[in-house]
Amino acid sequence: MLIENYTFLEGFYMTLITLTTIGFGEVRPLSEKGRLFTIFLILVGIAFVASQLAALGNYIADGQFLQMYRRRKMKKRLSQVSDHYIICGYGQMGKIVASELLKHNIPVVVIEKSEEEAVRLEELGIPYLQGDATEEEILIAAGIHRAKGLVALVSKDTDNVFIVLTARDLNKDLLICARANTSGVEKRLKKAGADRVVSPYASGAIRIAHNIIRPTVTDFLELALSGEGMELGMEEIKLVEGAPIIGKNLIDSNIRSSYNLIIVAIKKVDGSMIYNPAPSEILHQGDILIAIGPKANLNQFVTDISSHTGPNSKICSCAHSKAE
């Protein structure tokens, strides 16, 4: 427009056909200055396009394009997850916890810093976020407001305490289990908001001692809880509104006669535990029955009770619960 006195439309048209190398023809014959400007425009345009193609090639060659695609796909997948458990840390304990929960069809989302572990999670098809679980934004991205629970299993106690504090602040109803690596941290984790605290070293030591003192009992409990190698299982079943056995005593509930199940303990609403309950023990709404028996019978018992509950009620079977 300045050199050849073209109108805006004429100048725009000439620039467009020059940069796109279409070159239909000049609107009007160009002067020497106009030709020099056109040469400059062509060279700059080609250099710009070449640099962008090279950058795109490097982007694809480095795998960044694929990573970006995977991140977007994972973000979309995470937005659809609900009633899940967030596992912070995919170390030795994190792998076992995730495996057990997935075995019982309980959805999980893993938060892990390590890129190597993130690749492994990608291969296994487990929803994950690569980042620091102590950051509020990461927990929100993992769907903490829609989650059912959180498990803090990172190696540092200070990080676990901070994760529990942040998680409890974001979701007051969240079930939080945490790992304590050193003695004295249990109290801090519970004050921070953890519902359950497990010390792997203390638990491991007690388990070794039990293997020595009462090996048969330990073997039986391990088989019953894991559900591997035998048809026997142990589950905890919460009685909610609408369950037909509410208000009946244990013997009249016909749990033993109809399902061949043994109720070894009942956890009452106030938190008290009744071990080896008497046949006359009355069952109330909110009681948690700890039952042992054939796995097929346990599943049938849960199904039968669920079919009799009201539309806004359900029976909760937590087969994944482990003895501490």
| Lowest-confidence pick of 100-104, 159-163, 214-218 | 214-218
pLDDT of 298 strictly over 70: yes
Strand partners, 13: none
pLDDT at 157: 92
- Taking CA atoms, 35 is separated from 14, 22, 39, 268, in Å, by 12, 16, 6, 91
List Cβ neighbours of 17 (8 Å cut-off, separation of 6 or more): 23, 24
pLDDT of 66 strictly over 70: no
Residue 316 banded pLDDT, cuts 50, 70, 90: very low
pLDDT at 63: 57
Residue 311 banded pLDDT, cuts 50, 70, 90: very low
- Whole-angstrom distance, CA of residue 228 vs CA of residue 233: 9
Mean pLDDT (the chain, rounded): 84
List Cβ neighbours of 123 (8 Å cut-off, separation of 6 or more): none
- Whole-angstrom distance, CA of residue 243 vs CA of residue 261: 17
pLDDT at 47: 87
- What backbone torsions phi and psi does residue 174 show, to the nearest 5 degrees? -70, 135
Joined together, the tokens standing for residue 241 give 């509104």
More confident: 63 or 79? 79
Q: What is the pTM of this model?
A: 0.63
pLDDT of 112 strictly over 50: yes
pLDDT of 240 strictly over 90: no
Closest Cα to residue 286, out of 251, 258, 245? Answer: 245
- Taking CA atoms, 148 is separated from 83, 109, 151, 190, 236, in Å, by 5, 11, 11, 18, 17
pLDDT at 65: 61
